[in-house]
With several copies, the nearest count.
Chain A
């Protein structure tokens, strides 16, 4: 293998002994880890009319059973701390350990959501300052921190769009979305009660502005866009795009998934966007948690501020407090006030980096993506000619045409070579797409290692494609039968 040291490694090979059943395989009737204080008050069971007859089949295990079982499972999992994880659109950057330490402070972790405002002044100030920073970063007037993830942020934005239009004549039914958009965009649009109207891409992989011009009309509530788009390309005609939508009275929504590309260089607000969501678990490196949690704050321009979810943090003479007196608000989007523990980590990231650090993050994210794109270009050309920003979409189509090997096979082979592969088959507009987002926290040597592995896979595809089709062979399990999983549903013990 060429190109520098390997940073990641596959999960360990399964020996005969490494196979593990579920935690139930360790269960022994009568064993138990938990203990409670002696009940020193009178026993008062719930009335028998309400009681449970049988017992749920929970495991009966000791602490050491739990510790070994879940430690073992963790070792069967590849994380960022294991190695390179260039999932496109996910911004899998290093998750600072310091943020974990901070979020675990009892002052943050051990506070109840319904404590009086006076007892959580520290957190409220953190939220208030974070909101100000997010507004500065995006060029918005105010923001809500309530949405617990990007998709909920989208819903929040779209419901505000809906409420705004209801106050301004109403009757708008359509939301425009480029064909390269992430699946959550159309899903959110539908759940918000709008119809999805697709906007085609042009030969550059950008919004086809002429097509857009034909699509905009007074039925259009708005347009959702990420910029740079999911191809990693900056929408160069962004001003024209936002003007077109504004021209028919629509609002423009910025999907912040790709904010890592532009921090300190340009701001959605300055491009004409009205609503912006941010994925803290992307841009601000809050851990992805194996699938979540995240947080999806949403910023808006001045005129949308009345519609923000209830409550918002307000600063008063006596300190900070929740403002719940918001008659035009779209209401609550989360049972409490969002993923506070995630937002505290985001605050740590934003203020530790500062204006200078955030700007540099975007520069180096772009540098890494462009460098890696250049290294792999011969085997896996980028799908569109433009210079990518923080991520690029390459295609395995030439390789497939020549060898029959697909992007998925390449991905699986990368696993054997020690890497988590990139996103594949997204965005849908690119055949055999490989969407690679290295992020700024990866070293040159890691990028070269990954490029080397991709090159090796391409060579093998040409020489002996079965090596790729058989892959992976070094993992605890090999390729899994997904069709069977969906047909013979086994979703629990």
Chain B
């Protein structure tokens, strides 16, 4: 398979126009010593029907979520994606274009991103959003980067923040030179060298946090308050802006994006207008053209790497625009009342599932006194990983194993997709697995 359109005759004509006698001659600048003398150690090319057959064969070795009923979450959720989302986001004028460097040819992308920014502001109750980051974890990195500086290099992270996010933050921190400390409870000790306090709400155990307490402490200490949120909760939960967050970040996958075994996902970030010049990545703004017609452009580019180089806020260039398009369309599909109904469905179905599962002997809520949204942690009489495997045999993806203090619990997530009969079957299978071998 090869998409180059050249015929032999054309190659000859073109070579002669450039004064070369062979294609090989085009590589004459490469020193002989470094020229590859043998074929690459990759098989020779195959036809389209063969590559499809190969990858289809691989794909069916996976057990996908059409096959396993999904109660796994941990930041990535099996919400329903209406067909129109990808019927539209999948239009090739969108997905085969690139960063809108020529705005006159890119009003489509630019306007969708403007709408996306608006929606994220509306969701979060904050004032400014960008046009996407890689994912939730790297969005948190960028948020912390916005906060760090001028003598403030300590980063206090609540122990309810997803450890995958904390790990990612730690990796970047090695370069960016901030120090990361995890704290328990809701009253971090915010000294003047603290850049920010990071709280997840709902937290990684699904629990609703007393966010205002954390953020009160942050603000009292002059630090920025950063919230990790779940966009699907914001029809029913008070938005970060209202809870005192200065910056809010999230994994935006649930907004119309497929689970894709982890990516491509969508990093969301929103902040207060004061911080607009510290924001990372692309930002779209509205303006007018020479005739006064409204239109959209990339703006505040002086923040970015292609202009500011080593002084840029962030090194991000290619982002996750296509996922932002999907999120925009998805949120339009939901609408405000749909977002609210979604939240209510999730919390109700999760509560039902928790009740059914904890009626199994030996299964209890790991955090029994805490309110939760759509995910909750179970203490099981057996190792959660073994239980997960046993439930795969029974057709369920039971959840995600997660450390809680020094034990391992099972995180169970319940979206609007999970029907009562699926939940009942899941509870029965869990019971069966726990008594079984």
Contact = CB atoms under 8 A, between A and B. Distances in A.
Chains A and B touch each other in the complex, with CB atoms below 8 Å apart: yes
A479 B290 contact: yes
Given A52-B239, A60-B336, A81-B93, A41 B325 contact: no
Interface string B304-318: 111111111011111
Contacts of A150: 317-318
Given A113-B262, A270-B36, 4 more contacts: A39-B348, A444-B6, A482-B287, A486-B299
B183 interface: no
15 contacts: A30-B9, A34-B333, A42-B348, A60-B337, A71-B92, A136-B41, A149-B317, A155-B315, A267-B34, A289-B95, A290-B94, A332-B171, A353-B2, A363-B27, A493-B114
A89 B171 CA distance: 28
Given A28-B10, A111-B260, A186-B305, A366 B26 contact: yes
B175 A193 contact: yes
Contact of B46 (A70, A75, A82, A354): A354
- Which has the most chain B C-beta neighbours within 10 Å: A110, A151, A267, A340? A110
A248 interface: no
A147 B46 CA distance: 28
A36 B62 contact: no
Given A187-B309, A292-B132, A360-B4, A340 B30 contact: no
Interface stretch (B104-112, B149-157, B184-192, B426-434): B104-112
Contacts of B44: 354-357
Contacts of A154: 315
B349 A337 contact: no
**Interface size bracket, B side:** 35 or more
B134 A190 contact: no
Contacts of B263: 113, 148, 293, 334, 336-342
B262 A338 contact: yes
Nearest to A57: B122
Contacts of A93: 3
Contacts of B138: 148, 152, 333-335
Interface stretch (A232-240, A297-305, A395-403): A232-240
A330 B332 CA distance: 40
Contact of A133 (B6, B42, B291, B420): B42
B405 interface: no
A426 B15 CA distance: 28
B10 A107 contact: no
The 7 closest A-B pairs by CB, nearest first: A107-B59, A336-B262, A77-B108, A335-B137, A113-B262, A289-B322, A291-B321
A198 B50 CA distance: 47
A73 B176 CA distance: 39
A137 B351 CA distance: 40
B70 interface: yes
Interface in B10-58: 10-11, 13-15, 17-20, 23-24, 26-31, 33-36, 39-52, 54-58
A420 B60 contact: no
A166 B158 CA distance: 29
- Which has the most chain A C-beta neighbours within 10 Å: B74, B101, B117, B171? B171
B381 interface: no
Contacts of B317: 149-151, 182-184
A159 B290 CA distance: 46
A51 B238 contact: yes
Interface in A65-81: 65-67, 69-71, 73-81
- Which has the most chain B C-beta neighbours within 10 Å: A46, A47, A58? A46
A287 B95 contact: yes
A262 B30 contact: yes
A29 B352 CA distance: 32
Interface in A30-46: 30-37, 39-46
Interface string A459-493: 00000000000001001111111101110111111
